[in-house]
Amino acid sequence: MAVSHTPITPALGALVQGVDLATITPEQFDACNEIWRRRHVLVFRGQQLTNAQFERFSSMLGELDPPPNQGAGRKSVPGHPNLYVVSNRKSAEGEPLGALGDGEAQWHTDMSYLERPPFASMLWSIELPQAGGDTCFASMPAALRTMPPAFVARLRKLSIKHDGTYDSGGNVRKGVVPNDDPTRSVGTIHPMVIAHPETGEPTLYLGRRRNAWIAGLPLEESERLLNIIWSYATADAVTLRHSWQLGDVVLWNNFTTMHRRDAFPPDQIRTLHRSQIKSRYPLSAAAREAA
């Protein structure tokens, strides 16, 4: 069967058909990669995989990047240190067996507080609750296109601090002292507008709203401007909602999307395995290409 796809929303996302990720060929991968460059989020349904097969497909995108242990429950998949567990399951002693629990995860870009954040992330559903736990994605290129040209021109000249104090669940990262002054908190400054490093498409690059700061601006002005930016970046017209089914694999571009997660009942189990791909592209260079 030939690889085909169906757009999920006008702004982003594609449901990919005709691919078994357990046996994907280089030719099929190239076809999927071309779709991904245009649609930014790919959904593969009904995948029956082993961890080794999931890792093999992930590694076709580039060198895998095991996330640092920065919170309770952050554990690798046994025998697969490049994969880790996202789950609210606990041991008999009450120890978390996976990361992120069952609460809401706010809009964010994975590990954007690093100087060179991961280029892509992927989730594979293993166990799902009866309700809740949906994952939403927002297209940063589409959001930029909805903005007035004069506003975009201003944003191209600005940089934003990506806070490293809190994770997407609002928890203080391991080894970090809490600080709610965005001008003084730990983090990395990135250009506000970058270019997709493979296509050149201009895109916003945002992290978490909490403790974000537009470098060089008074805090009050930064907060006002960030509220405007986030209203464009998370508008219904540029987002999609993914309701998980068992066997789903979802891949997203970490330079061109933000994502969030709904909470779900704490007495129901949700387990996904996750991979992420190291970046080969410095964001500063991408920003110069977009200017």
Query: Does residue 68 have a pLDDT over 70?
Result: no
The total number of structural domains that make up the chain: 1
Position with higher pLDDT, 169 vs 92: 92
Query: In the prediction, which pLDDT does 104 show?
Result: 92
Tens of pLDDT, residue by residue over 96-119, are 888 888 999 999 999 999 989 999
Report how far residue 95's alpha carbon sits from residue 64's, in angstroms, rounded to the nearest whole number: 27
Query: In the prediction, which pLDDT does 69 show?
Result: 59
From 14-18, 145-149, 167-171, the region with the lowest mean pLDDT = 167-171
Tens of pLDDT, residue by residue over 235-251, are 999 999 999 999 999 99
Q: Quote the tokens at residue 171.
A: 């928890």
CATH code, domain carrying 278 = 3.60.130.10
Query: Does residue 253 have a pLDDT over 50?
Result: yes
Q: Check if the beta carbon of residue 207 is closer than 8 Å to that of residue 118.
A: no
Tens of pLDDT, residue by residue over 156-206, are 999 999 988 877 677 787 777 887 888 988 889 999 999 988 888 999 999
Q: Check if the beta carbon of residue 201 is closer than 8 Å to that of residue 140.
A: no
Q: Check if the beta carbon of residue 68 is closer than 8 Å to that of residue 118.
A: no
Provide the domain limits for residue 35: 4-290
- Report the chain's mean pLDDT, rounded to a whole number: 91
- Cβ neighbours of residue 33 under 8 Å, at least 6 residues apart? 61
Query: Does residue 67 have a pLDDT over 80?
Result: no
> For 273, phi and psi rounded to 5 degrees?
-105, 145
Query: In the prediction, which pLDDT does 286 show?
Result: 44
pLDDT confidence band for 75 (50 / 70 / 90): confident
